[in-house]
Amino acid sequence: MKKLILIVFLLWSGFILAQIDKESTPLQSLKGMNVRSFSSLNEDAKELLIGTKGKAGEAKVFYSDDFGTNWTSLNQDKSICANCEDIQSVCFLDEKTFLVGTKANGLYITQDKGNSFKKVDSYKDKEVRSIVRSPIGTTYIATGTMGVVKSEDNGKSWSEPLTKSLDFIKLKLPPRSNLIIYGITKSHGIHKSYDGGKNWKQVLIDKEINILDMEFIQNEIYAVGNNGKENFLFKSYMGDKNWKTYKLDMFGLVNNMHIVQTFNDYILFFGTESNGIQKSVAIEYSLKGFKCTEIIEDDESKSSNVFSNKEYIYHFSSNDGVFRFKREKECGVKVPIFVAPGSEKFDPFAIESTCSLSYFYFRIYDKYGKEVLVDSTGLNTANQKLNDKTYFQKSDNYVYWLKGNFESQVDTFNLKGHIRVMVQQ
Max intra-chain CA distance, the chain: 78
Backbone phi, psi, residue 257, to 5°: -150, 160
Contact 5, 17 (CB under 8 A): yes
Instruction: Please give the mean pLDDT across all residues of the chain.
Output: 86
Residues with Cβ within 8 Å of 347's Cβ and at least 6 positions away in sequence, in order, are none
Closest CA to 416 of 135, 15, 100: 15
pLDDT tens for each residue of 234-261: 999 878 889 999 888 888 899 999 998 7
Residue 194 has pLDDT above 60, yes or no: yes
Taking CA atoms, 199 is separated from 74, 164, 170, 178, 215, in Å, by 37, 11, 17, 15, 21
10-56 pLDDT per residue, tens: 334 444 444 455 445 556 678 889 999 999 998 878 999 999 999 99
Count of beta carbons in the 10 Å neighbourhood of residue 58: 14
Tell me: pLDDT of 287 over 60. no
Q: How far apart are CA 110 and CA 133, in angstroms?
A: 16
Q: In sequence order, what are the residues at sequence separation of 6 or more whose Cβ sits closer than 8 angstroms to the Cβ of residue 57?
A: 79, 81, 82, 83, 84, 85
Q: What is the DSSP string of 279-292?
A: EEETT-EETTEEE-
Q: In sequence order, what are the residues at sequence separation of 6 or more whose Cβ sits closer than 8 angstroms to the Cβ of residue 339? A: 349, 386, 387, 419, 420, 421, 422
- Reading across the β-sheet that carries 128-133, which strands appear in turn? 128-133, 139-143, 148-151
- Cα–Cα distance, 131 to 134 (Å, whole number): 10
Q: pLDDT tens for residues 368-389?
A: 999 999 999 989 999 999 989 8
What is the rounded CA–CA span in Å between residue 354 and residue 300? 37
Q: How far is CA 307 from CA 95, 105, 292, 314, 394, in A?
A: 19, 26, 18, 5, 46
Evaluate whether 106 touches 100 at the Cβ level (below 8 Å).
no
pLDDT tens-digit map of 296-343: 545 567 889 999 988 888 989 998 899 888 877 677 788 888 888 877
* CA distances, 120 to each of 97, 154, 334 (Å): 13, 11, 49
Entry pTM = 0.78
The least confident of 50-59, 199-208, 278-287, 362-371 is 278-287
- Is residue 200 a contact partner of residue 193, using CB atoms and an 8 Å limit? yes
Q: Of 24, 32, 93, 100, nearest to 62 (Cα)?
A: 100
Relative to beta strand 338-339, strand 412-421 is: parallel
pLDDT at position 241 is: 86
Q: Are 231 and 254 in contact (CB under 8 A)?
A: yes
Nearest Cα to Cα of residue 250 among 229, 222, 266, 267: 229
Beta bridge partners of 360: 404
Q: Which residue ranges form the domains of the chain, and what is each CATH number?
A: 20-327 (2.130.10.10), 332-421 (2.60.40)
